Structure 1
């Protein structure tokens, strides 16, 4: 009888253990005949000028208290970014450590609190390989790394604190699919890194090694490419070269940043014709205080990674470009724009209006006109209509 009672207890405990298994684990073991779909969105340059962080200082409730609240600036796109299974952002300006002194253009140091706003908005993949990543030298990179490491479930790549860190491929998992994330920049404004491992620069041989390593530990390879010519909508030769290299190496998606204006989206076929890579050449600015109409019209790229239930192959499908705009008000006098910019907020263009466009501080600045028509003209000139469906 005693033995029977022990067996019953063991069976009950086993049942409880199974019932309390982590949800993700239970989902992993569940068999299904349906395709697995992982949604992705990406935005461009989170370019924090001093006028932006000074406003964030006020939004926190007290000036110059060392705390900053950027959340209101992202609230209009938050629904889309939080809903996506994966969300990418380019952190253009280094989170170099507030103790080093905050600064804007041309040598940036952004408040670490911007990470709170970024993560709260749903972003979990962060590029740190930009031309401004050495603005506070290796100390800034170390502080940036420590800041992003505080957020569970967020991966950041492009700058590194050791050779071991540089050699570690960033991987994030969704619905049983492993996604690796690599990042590269064309340069660092002439500032040389203290160590070879500090910054991931474009280099054919190194990229080949990195992609091979990423494929060993993941099912999908995503690359962030900080490239192109500033303020130019056309693709340059360096972009074409590396887009083809990534395609030939079997990279699934390339997300481009740096030009501060939007550039085309296209599928690039591998040279052997066996695969194709989605290349988004530039998403333009996400949040910034730049002073050209072209600089405040950006894009949010969206698509799905679809894993076929039968073949187990993963494809990129349902690619869509959503136009966005960085809004900021002035005081009505374009000559005062440097001091008067305020009320920074990123909008989807579908939620924007001519009334807001008329209020934009750039409307009338140096003879510029800003309107819904202008936004659509800029977008349509660079983005193929098939991605604007």
Structure 2
């Protein structure tokens, strides 16, 4: 192509040079700029989105039961709950979700707070929504003991294209680093939890807990087999917008080890986003808490969540990969019900982007009037702005 352009330019020069040399220079400059644009376009971009806690209270799976047909028939559909977010999730090359509650096996009996067991059918709808990375290392992952972990692993393992990390069925399974490939780039996915509500696992390999030596070894292995390391961190203090010392310690450790991104969950409220500088001068994107994604919790602070969106960009010349275009997108968990009997009347669960949430929907939220609370778009926006730095709320960041 360049040879053809050169020949054409030569002809133009012969015909027009003496008459209009500036015109020829413009053509040459335009062709040069076109070539430059084509070269720049060769950078590889892998888009990423992540959401917080898929926290399935009994009112949620009871609605999913009704959605799938006759109540009590063992069929469940959560699809409508995720529908408003489906396009955002499916448009991303990689999408993360924290499966807060264990898929322990329906035959063990479904349950909500405080000891959860979520219908296995939810995995179908998580897959259909477009998620690729699933964290299973949570404080509720042992709610159905090792039996639940084994069943959960079988369910997620049956979903082609999804990788789950954080709980394991054997030592060999625990030693296997999860990887996924997009556009020629290999991503490792590690996951850890601060604890399991005092329940001690039957085997040492069952749950990946925070531990400096273990993490150091895992990250080293991950970096040997992948281009990017993503960590899911189940940490922090519940219902606290502030980052605690344990989070700070492990964020720094991950950065020093060369992790690229940390996605935090567990507090059930949103926490800050920041770049943590590692000992080698690298900068690691740290999302301390995305808050809840889908849940039936009863505080306005708990229905405000976030979706993190960014790009992994691989330079076509150096092959170096950087994290760019970081954006926090506020979310709201919507449900309706009678404030006077909210525990028994929650229904019509949906997750919305806050910028797609209407005042009419906000006025219908079940928390309006419950213990003096009110759900307003302005209030949710104000809380988001108080926690998330403005640089991550802008439409465009380079």
Compute the TM-score of the two structures, normalised by the length of structure 1: 0.91
Instruction: Measure, in 2, the Cα distance between the counterparts of 1:78 and 1:235.
Output: 30
Distance 1:325 1:372 in 2: 9
Moved more, 377-386 or 239-248: 377-386
Residue aligned with 1:173, SS:
strand
Which of 1 and 2 has greater Rg? 2
1:175-190 equivalences under 5 Å are 175-190=183-198
One of 341, 349, 352 as aligned partner of 1:344: 349
Q: 2:161 aligned to 153, 162, 182, which one? A: 153
CA-to-aligned-CA distance 1:164-186 (integer Å, 9 cap, x gap): 00000000000000000000000
Shift of 1:155: 0.2
Match of 1:136 in 2: 144
State the shift of 1:368 in Å: 0.7
| Unpaired stretches in structure 2, ≥5 consecutive residues | 1-38
Q: CA deviation at 1:271?
A: 2.7
Residue 359 (structure 1) aligns with: 364
Q: In 2, Cα distance between the equivalents of 1:59 and 1:377?
A: 34
2:299 pairs with 1:292: yes
Q: Secondary structure at the match of 1:65?
A: coil
Are residue 320 (structure 1) and residue 331 (structure 2) matched?
A: no
Aligned runs of 1:18-57 on 2, under 5 Å? Answer: 34-57=42-65
The CA deviation at 1:284 is 0.0
- State the alpha-carbon separation in 1 of the partners of residues 154 and 136 from structure 2: 12
Range 258-267 or range 60-69, more displaced: 60-69
1:152-231 aligned within 5 A: 152-231=160-239
Q: What stretches of structure 1 move > 6 A for 4+ residues in a row?
A: none
Q: Aligned partners of 1:125 and 1:282: how far apart in 2?
A: 16
Aligned match of 1:256 = 264
State the partner residue of 1:83.
Answer: 91
Q: 1:35-93: CA deviations, max 9, x gaps?
A: 00000000000000000000000000111000100000000000000010000000000
Length, aligned pairs only: 356
In structure 2, what is the Cα distance between the partners aligned to 1:284 and 1:94?
A: 18
Cα distance in 2 for residues equivalent to 1:113 and 1:50: 14
Deviations 1:309-365 (A, max 9, x none): 00000000000000000000113xx12100110000000011101111111000111
What CA distance in whole angstroms lies between the structure 1 residues aligned with 2:386 and 2:203? 41
Q: Which moved more, 1:354-363 or 1:174-183?
A: 354-363
Which of 337, 360, 364 pairs up with 1:330? 337
Equivalent of 1:240, from 248, 251, 261?
Answer: 248
Superposed CA offset, 1:261-284 (max 9, x none): 000000000134x20100000000
Tell me what 1:28 maps to: none
1: CA distance, partners of 2:125 / 2:332: 18
Identify the residue that residue 18 of structure 1 maps to in structure 2: none
SS in 2 for 1:315: strand
- CA displacement at 1:153 relative to structure 2: 1.1
1:216 Cα offset (Å): 0.8
Q: CA RMSD in A?
A: 1.0
Higher deviation after alignment, 374-383 or 100-109: 374-383
Structure 1 residues 232 and 32: alpha-carbon distance in aligned structure 2, compared to 1, 3 A threshold: closer
- 2:380 matched residue in structure 1: 375
Query: Out of 60, 65, 74, which is 2:68 matched to?
Result: 60
Distance in 1 separating the partners of 2:385 and 2:200:
38
**Aligned equivalents of 2:95, 2:70: Cα separation in 1:** 31
Q: Taking structure 1 as reference, are residues 142 and 356 closer, same or farther at Cα in structure 2, changes over 3 Å only?
A: same
